[in-house]
Structure 1
Amino acid sequence: MWAPTIRHYEGLFYVIVCVAASPRGCVVFTARDPAGPWSDGVTIDGVIGIDPDLAWDETGTAYVTYSDLELDGTLVVAHRGILQARADLVGGRLLEKPRRLWSGTGLVAPDGPHLYRRDGYWYLLIAEGGSGFAHAVSIACGPGIEGPLVGAPGNPVLSPSGTGSPVGCAGHADLVRGPHGDDLLVLLATRKAGSHSPLGRETFVTGVEWDDGWPKPAPVELNPRSQPLEEYFDFADDNALADPGWLAVGRTPAEIASAGERPGHLTVRAVSGGLGAFRPDFIGRSWTVRVAGDEVLLRIETDHPPLGPPWTGAGDRIRLIVADESGTETHLAELDGRFWAAETAAPFTGRVAGMFAEEGVVRFAHCRYQGEGHS
């Protein structure tokens, strides 16, 4: 499920998302409280694409605006730009044939549309350029929600491409009001470790000023942690997996691991065919991990790339280490981190470390993370 949009209208929270290449299609979920419970969802028939947005005009009519990307499994059949239609969110149907809306400046893959009403005008914010180095944020404006819309003279209004910034691939933004009443742009971007991005796309935020009716986002900057970070999970605690940072592939962490099967341990069973399976028996977090089992300590260490300009192509180093009960350490391998980075391994998510069962039953006593050096 790519790029859900969350909105609030007349006492209800809405989440709209397209389940790509699935019969479920575009689904709208509702809740009175964002913490839940949420509805089972209503499919909006007729929306074929990704990245749907939900907005209501002055009369309360709902509009779904989306990127018309048609997929056949994982293969792209067509990409027709940004489309929009009025929708019946209760009955689950479009009320008209989708119309073409503004689709950017001509860069590839216009997607991630979001509509806003401000000072009597409607603004359409989109991503274009693809999710890689050319990713950008562009905006258009017009008198009505259905257009016509005219692009900003300075489009794209945000793009780090060619700037030398350590923050790259910035795009897919949403305009929000901050806690102090200021306008903020929440977006996806990557940060470099040498020439590559080990953590893939992360969430960033930057300030927005307005000039002659157009938003002017500030350049996206790093905000590194000034102090070392340590996280520790003791699996003697039955609630150790309740932290929302845990993730699994295609399932919830609780479907992969059990904290109550053996006291003091987290039990992971290999039932899906190992790490190479479509849905491996794996739980993890987006950090480097130290895992203690019954008999050995397994450790993954990463170091920043050697100092030098990013065009040297150096990656960070990953070391796999095992220590026995006496404390004797054995270095199993040292790997080039470029092969576990967003630019090489996968375009969306980055490196995830965690625990898995290749075969049989594996039990873990605790899990610790230590990060320092601007990690």
Structure 2
Amino acid sequence: MTSPKPEPPHYDNPVIPGFHPDPSACRVGEDYYLVCSSFEYFPGVPVFHSRDLVHWRQIGNVLDRPSQLPLPADAMASDGIYAPTIRHHDGRFWVITTNTSHGGNFTVTAERPEGPWSDPVWIDLPGIDPDLAWDEDGNCWSAFAGAHGADFFGVQVARIDPEAGKVLEGPLPAWEGTGLQWPEAPHLYRIGEWWYLLIAEGGTERGHTVAVARAPSPRGPWESAPTNPVLSHRSTNRPIQSTGHADLVGTPDGQWWMVLLATRPRGYSPGFHVLGRETFLTPVRWEDGWPRVGPVELRERAPGSPRPVEPAPRRDDFDAPELDPRWISPRSRPDGSWSLTERPGWLTLRATGPTLDRPGCTFVGRRQSHPESRTTVLLDPGTGRAGLSVRVDEAHHYDLEVSDGRVDVVARIGPVRQTTAGRPVPPGPVILEITTRHVRELPPDDAEPRGLHVAAPDYVGFHVNGEPLAEIDGRYLSTEVATGFTGRVIGMYATGGTAWFDWFDHGPHDAAEGP
């Protein structure tokens, strides 16, 4: 099987920016659907729709009920939901994934990708990153990454009954990869006369790669591609790094594409990625029965140029009867902690915990989706304590907080919590703004050594009613510092009393860039 490399149209890459890792996609007719990992956030597993693999719109979340997403109140950051796979079979949508904090591997199903999705059917499979594939006889196979400490630490396969949650055959050892660490993220495909097993290995950091093997059946034996890894950016100076955890999807005209995660590190060595792992797209060609994948290109739309489709709105005025599916909260979002009806046209947040430094706080946010961004809200704090925060986890966040007639900038970096700037504010609503920029604009009298400014991937600025208040080095809100698997989330919070937010706006720093 040999095919030409698809001619890619001009498109933005990443196709889904911000913290959207571990993408999996499927096609139904001329429509494409994609899901991503969500870790400790609720609701979980965002679902996207596209007609061209380039322009994606979030249409819901797979796990949008507490019964589907049982997370302990103290679940660690970067635990929770790992690596979902979405497939369409026999008239239904299927998602299989792992809850690393409770229960392990499970499937959910839906008639429509927007939902509602079923409650979980738990499956007694070890490991993580499960996949689903059906053979010509209707048997369902699941490939998954082996559990730590197992006799076979590689990719395994099992024949399962996904409706009953039963393992019917196996697990069977399949492939240990090419010898790099952490063979994981398997996807099984029947393409032509072969079964293909696509995996990631090398770790999800800069050594991440994509490799492939093939076999006459899901039981093996598996033959490694002679050109493995079929995709890797490791040890290159390309602006996109950590390429891996991929899924293949075919188009109606016979072309093939790959969705994958990758990062965009910036700043001085070793480089810092602050948005998390994002979803990218790259064309695939077939040569001698093997997929060939070129380097993943960073494509950016020219400022001011129109998009072929209307993007999701950057501003939310909280006039809808339900929260937009892009809003997420750490671990849970109790009904009593928020309301869209208590004060119509405003989002009401009621404190459920006294600090963002511990689980259990009231926080509603969106993934930061632009490297240079501007986020603005109108807050009525009442007599409570509330604000706008840039969050990675409980130990890494910057807050613009209003309380007792003051606004303060608070930085939590590991064990250190420090108020860096503040000023009085009059009673009533206040406009809070957080910006991220790559270059710090130093005042003329700045006397700090230049060495303090060379390493940052960006600078996080804080503004109140349009006036600057402070600016902080952004590297401390990066994965390289905070560790883990997530990216920045910018959101509204209340840690004392009740607060109201009239609107929230998040978009590129330069308005000329467009939404």
Aligned partners of 2:336 and 2:350 also within 8 Å: no
The code of the aligned residue for 1:234 comes to: D
d(CA) in 2 for partners of 1:79, 1:279: 38
Match of 2:476, SS state, is: helix
Query: Any residues of structure 2 matched to 1:88-99 within 5 Å, and which?
Result: 88-99=161-172
Judged with a 3 Å threshold, the aligned counterparts in structure 2 of structure 1 residues 62 and 89 are, in CA distance, closer, same or farther, namely same
Judged with a 3 Å threshold, the aligned counterparts in structure 2 of structure 1 residues 181 and 248 are, in CA distance, closer, same or farther, namely farther
The code of the aligned residue for 1:216 comes to: R
| 1:38 aligned residue | 117
Match of 2:358, SS state, is: coil
The code of the aligned residue for 1:304 comes to: H
Q: 2:131 aligns with which of 34, 53, 63?
A: 53
Judged with a 3 Å threshold, the aligned counterparts in structure 2 of structure 1 residues 187 and 321 are, in CA distance, closer, same or farther, namely same
Match of 1:314, SS state, is: coil
| 1:299 aligned residue | 433
TM-score, normalising length: structure 1: 0.88
| 1:73 aligned residue | none
| 2:314 aligned residue | 231
d(CA) in 2 for partners of 1:79, 1:213: 28
The code of the aligned residue for 1:362 comes to: A
CA displacement 1:139-191 (0-9 Å, x = unmatched)? 00111111111111111110111121111111000001136542010111111
Aligned partners of 1:306 and 1:314 also within 8 Å: no
Say which structure, 1 or 2, has more relative contact order (CA 8 Å, 6+ apart): 2
Aligned partners of 1:247 and 1:253 also within 8 Å: no
Q: 2:288 aligns with which of 196, 202, 212?
A: 212
Aligned partners of 2:438 and 2:457 also within 8 Å: yes
d(CA) in 2 for partners of 1:305, 1:139: 41
d(CA) in 1 for partners of 2:258, 2:334: 31
Judged with a 3 Å threshold, the aligned counterparts in structure 2 of structure 1 residues 200 and 78 are, in CA distance, closer, same or farther, namely farther
d(CA) in 1 for partners of 2:187, 2:214: 12
Q: Which runs of 5+ in 1 are unaligned?
A: 71-75
| 1:371 aligned residue | 508
d(CA) in 1 for partners of 2:367, 2:335: 18
CA displacement 1:195-236 (0-9 Å, x = unmatched)? 21110111111000111111111211122243369722213x
Judged with a 3 Å threshold, the aligned counterparts in structure 2 of structure 1 residues 202 and 152 are, in CA distance, closer, same or farther, namely same
Residue 261 (structure 1) aligned with residue 332 (structure 2): no
TM-score, normalising length: structure 2: 0.65
d(CA) in 2 for partners of 1:78, 1:216: 32
The share of aligned pairs that are identical, in percent, is 44
d(CA) in 1 for partners of 2:131, 2:159: 12
Aligned partners of 2:337 and 2:352 also within 8 Å: no
Residue 5 (structure 1) aligned with residue 91 (structure 2): no
Count of aligned pairs = 357
The code of the aligned residue for 1:57 comes to: D
Residue 361 (structure 1) aligned with residue 498 (structure 2): yes
Q: Which runs of 5+ in 2 are unaligned?
A: 1-80, 305-310, 369-373, 381-428, 442-453
CA displacement 1:28-51 (0-9 Å, x = unmatched)? 112222222322121112x01110
d(CA) in 2 for partners of 1:198, 1:179: 36
Aligned partners of 1:318 and 1:335 also within 8 Å: yes
Judged with a 3 Å threshold, the aligned counterparts in structure 2 of structure 1 residues 370 and 27 are, in CA distance, closer, same or farther, namely closer
| 1:109 aligned residue | 182
Mean CA deviation greater in 241-250 or 85-94: 241-250
d(CA) in 2 for partners of 1:97, 1:17: 19
The code of the aligned residue for 1:112 comes to: A
| 1:176 aligned residue | 249
The code of the aligned residue for 1:34 comes to: P
d(CA) in 2 for partners of 1:66, 1:119: 23
d(CA) in 2 for partners of 1:94, 1:77: 18
The code of the aligned residue for 2:363 comes to: F
The code of the aligned residue for 1:266 comes to: L
Q: 2:107 aligns with which of 28, 31, 40?
A: 28
| 2:371 aligned residue | none
Displacement of 1:330? 4.7
Aligned partners of 2:95 and 2:109 also within 8 Å: yes
CA displacement 1:85-142 (0-9 Å, x = unmatched)? 1112222211133111112111111110000111110100001011111111000011
Residue 131 (structure 1) aligned with residue 204 (structure 2): yes
CA displacement 1:248-273 (0-9 Å, x = unmatched)? 11225977421111233211111133
Displacement of 1:363? 1.2
